[in-house]
Amino acid sequence: MIRILVFLILGSMPSIKSRKIGFYYAHPQNRFWKTLASVYQEEIGKTIKDKIEFLRIHHIALYDVLKSCDISSSSDGSIKNPVPNDFSDILEHSNIKAIFTTGQKAYQLYQKYCYPTTKIKAIPLPSTSPANCPKGIDEKLKICYQQIKEFTE
């Protein structure tokens, strides 16, 4: 069996827009894709297919800490009754080099519900959500997200 080296980036729970479209970081004001494009100094296409290809080339996997929860709108602060995802299959069939979380809530949920089982420390990154990104934060995000790329160098 081939075990592919990947970097797992975990959000807490998809936004309303992401749930509607069925893919990660779909809100047009979310800076996730823009930040990764800046870190890797590459254009990332607009389609889901383009984004999947970018992730594949860079060995990045996206997932969420939570399988389900009660959430109001897209607000991480409103999360109640969280049910974590089971990472055993992912960990068994891939070679996770690092786990990153996007935002403090994803990090806190991972630490509480997932770390006791996975025993893999997560590296918290700032949220790219438009709710948590004031103007002028693009350079700070790039510096923080640069850690992802550094794992491959």
pLDDT in tens, 12-29: 887 778 888 889 888 888
DSSP state of 131: G
Q: Where are the alpha helices (DSSP H) in 10-153?
A: 16-21, 32-40, 48-57, 88-93, 104-109, 115-118, 138-150
Helix (H/G/I), strand (E/B), else coil: 109: helix
CA atoms of 39 and 1, how far apart (whole Å):
31
**Domains delineated in the chain:** 4-142 (3.40.470.10)
pLDDT of residue 76: 67
Average pLDDT value for residue range 38-62: 93
The residue assigned the tokens 């693009």 is: 138
Predicted confidence band at 80 (pLDDT cuts at 50, 70, 90)? confident
Average pLDDT value for residue range 142-146: 79
Task: Supply the pTM of this predicted model.
Answer: 0.86
pLDDT of residue 5: 66
CA atoms of 3 and 133, how far apart (whole Å):
36
Q: Select the more confidently predicted residue: 72 or 96.
A: 96
pLDDT of residue 136: 61
